[in-house]
Amino acid sequence: MNKKYLREDIIRMSGVNPKKCMRCGKCSGTCPAYDEMEYHPHQFVSMVESGDIEPLLESDSLYRCLTCFACVERCPRGVEPAKLIEAVRLTAIRRQGANRLTPNDIPAMLDDEIPQQALVSAFRKYTK
């Protein structure tokens, strides 16, 4: 996909304006999944802004975001990085055959206590 089109598509899908970012890094300062990520919330914002999106689409970081909205809540500029990450993740899993999770993967993950909610949510986030 054309780089510019991809950028615009993600911005439109997320409703986020990455230009509002003032590069303070508070999103990455507050992100609970930071250590698990290769690209961090502030990098999602700046890389989408510069159109450097392919590396993000390839990265496992997409599946580490907890959608806990801490970055959304605490961003001083109202940038809402989590929404941007969500849009990049959807772009990745909407590609054919790119589902992160398949029903076959599930049994190995289960234990007796795990709530349905976790399965449903994971399917929403990882599968199209």
Partner 1 sequence: MKFSYFPGCTLKNKAKDLDRYAIRSAEALGISLEEIENWQCCGGVFTTARDEIATKLSSVRILKAAKDKEQDLITVCSACHNVVKQTNNAMQNDAEFSSKVNRYMASEGGYDGSTTVYHYLEMLRDIVGFDALREKVVKPLSGKKIAAYYGCLLLRPGSVMKMDDPENPTIMEDMIRAMGAEPVIYGNRNECCGGYVVMESPELAKKKSGDVIRNAKAQGADMIITACPLCKYNLMKNGADVPVVYFTELLAEALGVKEDTNE
Partner 2 sequence: MQRIGVFVCWCGSNIAGTVDVVAVAEALKKEPGVVFSTDYQYMCSQAGQDLIVSSVKEHNLTGLVICSCSPRMHEATFRKTAQVAGLNPYMVEIANIREQCSWVHKDMPIGTEKAIILGKAAVAKVNLNAPLTPGESPVTKRALVIGGGIAGIQTALDIADAGFPVDIVEKKPTIGGKMAQLDKTFPTLDCAACILTPKMVDVAQHENIRIFSYSEVTDVKGFIGNFDVTIKKNARFVNEDICTGCGDCVTKCPQKKVPNEFNLGMDNRSAIYIPFAQAVPKVATIDPAHCTMLKTGKCGVCSKVCKANAIDYTQKDEFITERYGAIVVATGFDPISMDKFDEFAYNQSKDVITSLEFERLTNAAGPTAGKLLRPSDGEHPHKIVFVQCVGSRCDSCAEKGKEYCSKICCMYTAKHAMLTRDKYPDTEVYVFYIDVRTPGKNFDEFYRRAVEEYDVHYIKGMVGKITPEGKKLMVRASDLLDGKQLNIDADLVVLATAIEPDKSARSLATMLTASMDTNDFFTEAHPKLRPVESPTAGVFLSGTCQGPKDIPETVSQAGAAASKVIGLLAKDKLKGNPCVASSDELMCNGCSSCEKVCPYGAITYENKEFRMPDRTTRVRRVASVNPAVCQGCGCCTVTCPSGAMDLRGFMNEQIMAEVDAICK
Q: Is position 93 an interface residue for partner 2 (rule: CB under 8 A)?
A: no
The span from the CA of 72 to the CA of 110, in Å, is 31
Residue 119 contact, options partner 2, partner 1, none, Cβ 5-8 Å cut-off depending on partner type: partner 1
Binding residue (CB under 8 A) for partner 2 from 19, 74, 94, 95: 74
Q: Does 56 bind partner 2 (CB under 8 A)?
A: no
C-beta closer to partner 1: residue 37 or 47 = 37
64 counts as binding partner 2 under rule CB under 8 A: no
- Quick one: which of 76, 3, 82 has its CA closest to 45? 82
Smallest CA-to-CA distance from 81 within 14, 24, 35 is with 14
What does the alpha-carbon distance between residue 25 and residue 85 come to, in Å, rounded to a whole number? 15
Q: Identify which of residues 4 and 35 has a Cβ nearer to partner 1 in the complex.
A: 35
Query: Which residue type, as a one-letter code, is found at position 113?
Result: E
